[in-house]
Chain A
């Protein structure tokens, strides 16, 4: 007689396979959504007051360097062994990725485009909503792709604080019940989720930015232009040291 199947989830997790998948997606995406909601105004402040950007970047980078486990130990006194405890550090990590993405995106709007907008009688709010934000969309979505992928993989660590890791909990059960297929299931499902969400974001970007060069030489040119940007950011960081 064969043992439990690949998709048979041990009863201690009190969830079906699809239930775990749903939970995993939820725990991964809510932090990214909150991170985005905070990154947009924070990023705009950094664009508006450029002296703010180096310290913000510095602080968020330091936060990024804190291991999630350390976050959990600190937070567990306040929020307990709950999903919230898992999602708070993930929110912070998303923020770290999304603020620079947004700032670089807005800064990539060519100066003459902004001048033209101003000269045509766009006020500051209209300039932000109708020119800067739409043009920053590709950069923001590029940031979102990294944030979502990292969030999906990090949710699993929540298993360490009492089965709050969704698909990650399968890893612990794999050890507990000597079922290596649970570990394989966890890893594969997480990877598939990350890939699917990434594809969804790429499709979203394509839907939102019909104005971007798509194919052949134009796309390569755009990629080259985009590749110039990180250099700009590095220069900025140098300047802040």
Chain B
């Protein structure tokens, strides 16, 4: 555990970067420091590996003051990833990754072997091993940066806006990759970002900091969204925190309807039975049960096999029943031209359909359940999937 105890950083010119900050960073999870620029989040991170020395207060690592061990030994026990990766442009990818193991005295072959293993782990093709950084895309360079930080298997990983400089699509895949790696390795990660969406997506705990280096709130993301400590946090979370909070409720509890679902070869009798279920539209599926599209009941009255597939209303993006959150389900329903969301199972076959009204009811009961039981049970196990 990293304990930050009443740490203050004041510069000679009088500016206070961090003001009396206390924070217990739990082991084996991702703690995100988030806030507007000038809130001292990066300074806080850099005090953990002593790139910046605090003016007062102290930082403990597993109970002992970080100033007790030699500074370079401390730094080598903490992986460090920064914006633009900061790769050594004069070294090959494999040698970049092998840097810290080499410094720790590993022989060259073992260090390179380890580097190649890590390339696989962060999703880099081993064929890139002998390339130089300029030959890689920004996203690939950032992956190298992560691999380099992990090379000596440090218990702690410090990440300073690592994904800020890449485009949103690459950023999303890097975030998903980080969550996947974290599931395998269980490092203690301190992650700095100014992007609240990123914080909510990857953080187990989020420390919101405000200008002047003060802590505004330290809480798990779902608690942050449901009960922001003050107006500043509320503003910082943005106007759609209600919607975003739905990411933390599973779609397990949705009552999926099978009634309006008919196979493409269904006859007039089956269509009549489906119509009797009372839904305004019927969902046609192919022979494997995969969705084809919506049709109004009167247009299919003569049998689903008479309907031209090209005339169907698009079903939009289906959501994975149970595995995706209420937010995904609601999103599907909002985007669907019929107002109904399509749920699919793992094979992509239709598990059922659900109306906006039913999703609304599920949201209300989830909120009510949370009020009774305290903070919602987070959808932790699916976090990596949610991010993908």
A interface vs B, CB < 8 Å?
110, 112-113, 115-123, 131, 134-135, 137, 209-213, 218, 222
Contact = CB atoms under 8 A, between A and B. Distances in A.
Contact of A112 (B73, B78, B86, B103): B86
Contacts of A123: 72
Interface in B112-156: 132-135, 145, 148
23 contacts: A112-B82, A112-B85, A113-B87, A113-B89, A115-B82, A116-B82, A118-B75, A119-B51, A119-B75, A120-B76, A120-B100, A121-B71, A121-B75, A121-B100, A121-B103, A122-B72, A123-B72, A137-B90, A209-B90, A211-B89, A211-B134, A218-B134, A218-B135
A88 to B, nearest CB: 35
B51 A210 contact: no
Q: Which 10 A-B pairs have the closest CB atoms?
A: A116-B86, A112-B86, A119-B80, A121-B72, A121-B76, A121-B75, A211-B132, A134-B90, A211-B90, A113-B86
Given A121-B76, A121-B100, A110 B84 contact: yes
Contacts, number: 69
- Of B89, B91, B148, most buried by chain A (CB within 10 Å of CB) is B89
Contacts of A213: 134
Main secondary structure of the interface of B (DSSP, over half): mixed
A210 B132 contact: yes
B89 A115 contact: no
Interface residues of B, number: 30
B91 A211 contact: yes
Contacts of B134: 211-213, 218, 222
Interface string B174-207: 0000000000000000000000000000000000
A60 B148 CA distance: 42
Does more than half of chain A's interface fall in helix, strand or loop, or is it mixed? helix
A1 B89 CA distance: 64
Contacts of A131: 88, 90
A120 B71 CA distance: 10
Contacts of B90: 131, 134-135, 137, 209, 211
Given A110-B84, A134-B90, A211-B90, A120 B133 contact: no
A120 B80 CA distance: 7
Contacts of B80: 116, 119-120
Contacts of B135: 218
A115 B86 contact: yes
B128 to A, nearest CB: 14
B313 to A, nearest CB: 46
B336 interface: no
Contacts of B73: 121
Given A120-B99, A121-B75, A121-B76, A211 B84 contact: no
A121 B89 CA distance: 18
B49 interface: yes
B86 A110 contact: yes
B83 interface: yes
Contacts of B85: 112, 116
A92 B250 CA distance: 75
A122 B72 CA distance: 7
Contacts of B82: 112, 115-116, 119
A110 B88 CA distance: 10
Nearest to A137: B90
Nearest to A109: B89
B65 to A, nearest CB: 19
Given A120-B80, A121-B103, A115 B51 contact: yes
Nearest to B96: A116
Contacts of A119: 49, 51, 75, 78, 80, 82, 158
Nearest to A131: B88
A69 B100 CA distance: 54
B75 A135 contact: no
